[in-house]
Amino acid sequence: MTTSSGDTVLDRVLRILSAFDANRRQLSVTDLAHLADIPQATAYRLVAKLSNEDILTRYPDGTIGLGMRLWELAARSSPAVSLRTAAMPFLDDVQAIFRQHTQLSVLDDHEVLVVERLSSRNSVVNQATVATRMPIHTVSMGLVQLAFQPPHVIDEYFLAHPKAAEMTYPSSGHITKTLAQIRQEGFAMLDGMLDDGTTGAAVPVFNTLRGKNRTAIAAISVVIPEDFEQRGAVIPVLMAASRGLSRALHPLPDVE
């Protein structure tokens, strides 16, 4: 069904749902109407219908948030759920060793999407939380996945984000040089990307165990203090976890 403005009801519902993020967990209907760019009367009507189905929930103060049924539906069928389930033993191992933020992320629509994060009470500051999205070129877990994409994917990202194509990093220089270094070394380890005094270290999880043209389908990463005592052990531990996850996702056939 197309509305008088030319968009569909589904378009409007998707814009309502997309209005919520980590910093906007509860919104008034007026704010939803503004953020979704729909008339306020329409927003009230759609919010009422979505609330009746528990896709949205209405709080006692009148604000609106995402409902439990939306989470339930996503948890049943999202490809990220299978990836997270397979990754959890390996993430647990990494987090148990370093007791710092340990993350699993994927690339989605030119952004990094955090699928899981494990933390300890005394972990260093970290801006990434579960379901957080970040520009790929601003975090090590994004760069390590971008480095292991086909060339046309990298070109498309730079075309869509021209500022990214101009990025330089203190330890590795221009972004193209940085990506080449990541491909050569097999990991990304960059200081102070988002917060001073922190280091993001990440390794790719590949779509296959063998072959020269492997593509990264995810990344396992940690955020540690720059002066972390176990810094030298971080990459070997992450690589072991990545290999384990890749084997779990793509087991090799039995050889008779």
Report the pLDDT value the prediction gives residue 45, as an integer from 0 to 100.
95
Comparing CA positions, the residue from 7, 35, 9 lying closest to residue 20 is 35
Residue 252 DSSP class = P
Residues making up the chain, counted from first to last: 256
Q: Kindly calculate the radius of gyration of the chain based on its CA atoms and give it in whole angstroms.
A: 21
Q: Is residue 4 part of a domain?
A: no
User: Looking at 73, 101, 117, which one is the last position of a domain?
Assistant: 73
Report the pLDDT value the prediction gives residue 224, as an integer from 0 to 100.
94
Asked if pLDDT for residue 71 goes beyond 90, the answer is: no
Report the pLDDT value the prediction gives residue 4, as an integer from 0 to 100.
55
Picking from 60-69, 157-166, 206-215, which range would have the lowest pLDDT averaged per residue? 206-215
Residues 106 and 40 in one domain: no
What CATH number does the domain containing 62 carry? Answer: 1.10.10.10
Q: Is residue 16 part of a domain?
A: yes
Asked if pLDDT for residue 255 goes beyond 50, the answer is: no
195-242 pLDDT tens trace: 888 999 999 999 887 667 789 999 999 999 999 999 999 999 999 999
Q: By residue range, what is the domain housing residue 170?
A: 78-249
User: Looking at 36, 53, 73, which one is the last position of a domain?
Assistant: 73
Residues 209 and 94 in one domain: yes
pTM of the model: 0.76
Residues 107 and 165 in one domain: yes
Residues 6+ apart with CB under 8 A from 203: 144, 186, 187, 188, 219, 220, 221, 235, 238, 239, 241, 242
Backbone φ, ψ for residue 210 (5° rounding): -135, 165
